[in-house]
């Protein structure tokens, strides 16, 4: 299970005021709104989530790096578990013309407002029960999704990724390495249920028989 970072280049490009985030609006109320994963979460005020999640091409560099690393070629199949508006899946279709993509997300709003070019290949569903046969995909990815699950759901979801993937899988979750990063994560997050150190996440992956790659997002 190698740790490979494709995402920090995007994560670190955003400046965050952690204290303002936790003080500007009652955090518990903001979390209640965010956890509906509806319009307010994606395209409402920043205090409820993304503050407007619009396509801007930023995921192209991630798709390029992952395509190179995993040797993706036309005809290969990719599944994104927790695809949201599927901007990354769209970029895969541009970086590797002829690649086949599928996406699943719990958010009806996210799917309905996904990139139009890939929307026909998306569906609403739960990561704990993927509606695909065993070993269906050449690459299975889940980007900043699994920390939103409770531990009993996480166990099922990781096992599902392992089940539907062939060889290549990649999971990214939020984590912390020290008390400062833990506080920042608590201040910033709205939807997390799993608060784990990297070693704890690795323990979960080992427990679930996960054989893919992984990396972490830290709030430094």
**177: domain CATH number?**
3.40.50.150
**Confidence band (pLDDT; 50, 70, 90) for 64?**
very high
- At 136 the pLDDT is 97
Query: Is residue 39 over pLDDT 90?
Result: yes
Query: What does R_g of the chain's alpha carbons equal in angstroms?
Result: 17
Q: Is residue 2 included in any domain, yes or no?
A: no
Q: Is residue 213 included in any domain, yes or no?
A: yes
Strands 165-175, 77-81: parallel, antiparallel or unpaired by DSSP? unpaired
Give the distance between the most distant pair of CA atoms in the chain: 49
Q: Is residue 101 included in any domain, yes or no?
A: yes
**Confidence band (pLDDT; 50, 70, 90) for 23?**
confident
Specify the number of domains making up the chain. 1
- Chain-centroid distance of CA 164 in Å reads 17
Percent of the chain with pLDDT over 70: 99
Query: Is residue 121 over pLDDT 90?
Result: yes
**Confidence band (pLDDT; 50, 70, 90) for 19?**
confident
Q: Is residue 133 included in any domain, yes or no?
A: yes
The encoded tokens of residue 112 equal 């309905």
- Other beta carbons within 10 angstroms of residue 116's beta carbon come to 10
- Mean pLDDT of all residues in 145-165: 98
* Spatial CA neighbour of 85 closest among 48, 124, 44: 124
The dihedrals phi and psi of 31, each to the nearest 5 degrees, come to -65, -40
Mean of pLDDT over the chain: 96
Query: Is residue 8 over pLDDT 90?
Result: no
The answer to whether the CB of 192 falls within 8 A of the CB of 140 is no
**Confidence band (pLDDT; 50, 70, 90) for 22?**
confident
Question: What's the domain range around 37?
Answer: 8-218
Q: Is residue 87 included in any domain, yes or no?
A: yes
Going from the C-alpha of 89 to that of each of 34, 145, 207, the distances in angstroms are: 23, 15, 29
């Amino acid at each position: 299970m190698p740790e490979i970072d494709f995402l920090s280049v995007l994560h670190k490009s955003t400046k965050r005021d952690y204290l303002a985030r936790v003080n500007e609006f009652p955090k518990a109320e903001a979390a209640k709104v965010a956890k509906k994963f509806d319009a307010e979460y994606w395209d409402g005020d920043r205090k409820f989530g993304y503050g407007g999640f619009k396509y801007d091409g930023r995921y192209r560099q991630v798709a390029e790096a992952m395509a190179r690393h995993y040797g993706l070629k036309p005809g290969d199949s990719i599944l994104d578990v927790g695809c949201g508006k599927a901007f990354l899946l769209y970029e895969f279709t541009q970086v590797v013309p002829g690649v086949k993509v599928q996406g699943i997300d719990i958010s009806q709003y996210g799917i309905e407002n996904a990139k139009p070019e890939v929307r026909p290949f998306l569906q609403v569903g739960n990561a704990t029960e993927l509606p695909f046969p065993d070993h269906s995909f050449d690459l299975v990815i889940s980007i900043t999704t699994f920390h939103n699950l409770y531990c009993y759901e996480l166990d099922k979801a990781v096992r599902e990724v392992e089940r539907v993937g062939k060889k290549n899988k990649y999971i990214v979750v939020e984590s912390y390495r020290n008390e400062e990063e833990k506080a920042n994560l608590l201040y910033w997050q709205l939807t997390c249920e799993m608060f784990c150190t990297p070693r704890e996440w690795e323990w979960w992956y080992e427990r679930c028989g996960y054989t893919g790659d992984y990396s972490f997002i830290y709030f430094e």
